[in-house]
Amino acid sequence: MTTPEEIGILKNSIEVLEMGLLKLEHAQDVDPMLTENILLEVANKMTNNYPYHHPLYAGQMLKPPHPVARLAYTLAMQINPNNHALDGSRASSPMEKEAVQQLAHMFGYERYIGHLTGGGTMANLEALWIADQIHPGKVVVASEHSHYTHERISSVLKIPFRKVKADKWGRMDIADLKQQLERDTNIGTVVVTLGTTGTGSVDPLEDIIKLQQEFDFRIHVDAAYGGYFRLASNLQKKVSRRFAAISKVDSIVIDPHKHGLQPYGCGCILFKDPSVGQFYNHDSPYTYFTSDELHLGEISLECSRAGAAAVALWATLKHFPLVKNGGMAEGMNRCHAAAISLYQKIENDPGFITLFQPETDIVVWAATGTSLSEISRKNQQLFDYCARQDLHLALFNYPAYLLPDHWEEIAKDQDYVTCLRSCLMKWEHIDWVDRIWEIIRNSITTTTD
């Protein structure tokens, strides 16, 4: 939540902005009393929310923006720049280019073309659209645990789409992918997920790159959720190697509004080959009349985009540069450490059963039971109990056929099991694991008495 100190910082910053804009005469009439009444009504309505900003919210992928991002966004909104063309974003378009360059360099891209988007969905749409321009009519494949947006986008773009099986660790099954490549020479793009939104699993990118050398296809990496783990230094070695290999792929999506401490919506699409910019060719002379430089709108499917998002990201990267051993890297280490800490507590308690060790910062587990239906019922009760104690988790339906071997003695009386799921993506979560575990442990005692 915004503090009085932050309000003071914003006030001083707005004064500097106004001074720099030639002290133009104020042109808007505002009714202070009406405005205040409306905002108070908004504030009351907004109390009808879960505490997304708090560490006891550990359910879905919701993370509060850093204060520097919030304040920079609010400051930029004083003039509301549009990053479609330089004419509407003389300051914020160059800031976007600088911020995108940092994201590209984090992934090892030296030559690239890219820009911010309204979110991962739009960024992935551009990636698959470019893929279809290069390989017209060829099939896109993605893991069955990839985000549903890839199948939906393929449908919108009229691109053939097919799923690849997942293994028992939630990753793309490399054997099934190879079989599909051998059977079908019309596969043009393989979508690799580095950090699935269900379990946080990281697809075997190294192995997929080896297959690319044998078969002709593009590799698009969906790192919307997991991309910032490229900076982490405490992951399993095999997971770190997968993130290290990302510099070899054709395109990458990352969402700074997930782990990057940004307000919604802020996504990013990056292409390793700058020549793909040719596919964006269009003519809109009324927006381009004061500069011969590249306008971001010339390499984007989106038109109007919030310049404030670029300003907020630029400011955050001044605070947390994307470098190894920097502040952002340490934050990602804390997220993974929190997940491992909670996983170990659950793993060592006979009242619970886990799926597998988290590769990023998502933990999936369940109460023990003799059948999937019994476990699912128990987990719903535990979910409800924890919510009453102000600990907010998520429920996740996991397919029965993908359950790991240590679940083999449990009766498979239905096609899925409803598990509990925690996303420990706030840097503060590492300091709250004991409290989170206390509530979870009490839940199993209370609901089974």
187 in the same domain as 243: yes
Q: Does 52 have pLDDT greater than 80?
A: yes
- Regarding whether 346 and 310 lie in a shared domain, the answer is no
Mean of the per-residue pLDDT values of the chain:
93
Give me the phi and psi of 102, to 5 degrees please.
-65, -40
C-alpha span between 99 and 93 (Å, rounded): 10
First CA to last CA distance, the chain: 38
Residues 213 and 345 in one domain: no
pLDDT at position 299 is 83
> Domain range holding 230?
86-319
61, part of any domain = no
Tell me, yes or no, whether 285 and 364 share the same domain: no
Clarify whether residues 181 and 151 are in a common domain: yes
CB 87 within 8 A of CB 80: no
pLDDT in tens, 349-382: 999 999 999 999 999 999 999 999 999 999 999 9
**Which segments within 23-168 are labelled E, that is strand?**
113-117, 139-143, 161-164
330-355 pLDDT tens trace:
999 999 999 999 999 999 999 999 99
- CA distance linking residue 63 with residue 52, whole number of Å: 7
362 in the same domain as 226: no
pTM to 2 decimals? 0.94
pLDDT, one tens digit per residue, over 263-273 is 999 999 999 99
pLDDT at 282: 60
H or E segment to which residue 244 belongs:
helix 237-244
* Domain identity same for 268 and 406: no
CATH of the domain at 402: 3.90.1150.10
Is the CB of residue 74 less than 8 Å from the CB of residue 290?
no
CB 258 within 8 A of CB 224: yes
Whether residue 93 contacts residue 254, with contact meaning beta carbons closer than 8 Å, is answered with no
Pair of tokens at residue 131: 């893929």
Query: Total domain count for the chain?
Result: 2
Cα 248–Cα 251–Cα 256 angle in degrees, nearest 5: 110
pLDDT band at 418, cuts 50/70/90? very high
pLDDT bucket at 402, cuts 50 / 70 / 90: very high
Is 174 within 8 Å of 208 (Cβ atoms)? yes
**Does residue 25 have a pLDDT over 80?**
no
Local structure of 356: helix, strand or coil: coil
pLDDT at 286: 46
- Assign 30 a pLDDT band (cuts: 50, 70, 90): confident
Q: Which residue has the tokens 């080959």?
A: 273
Give SS3 for 165: coil
Residues linked to residue 328 through DSSP beta bridges, in sequence order = none
Mean pLDDT of 313-319: 98
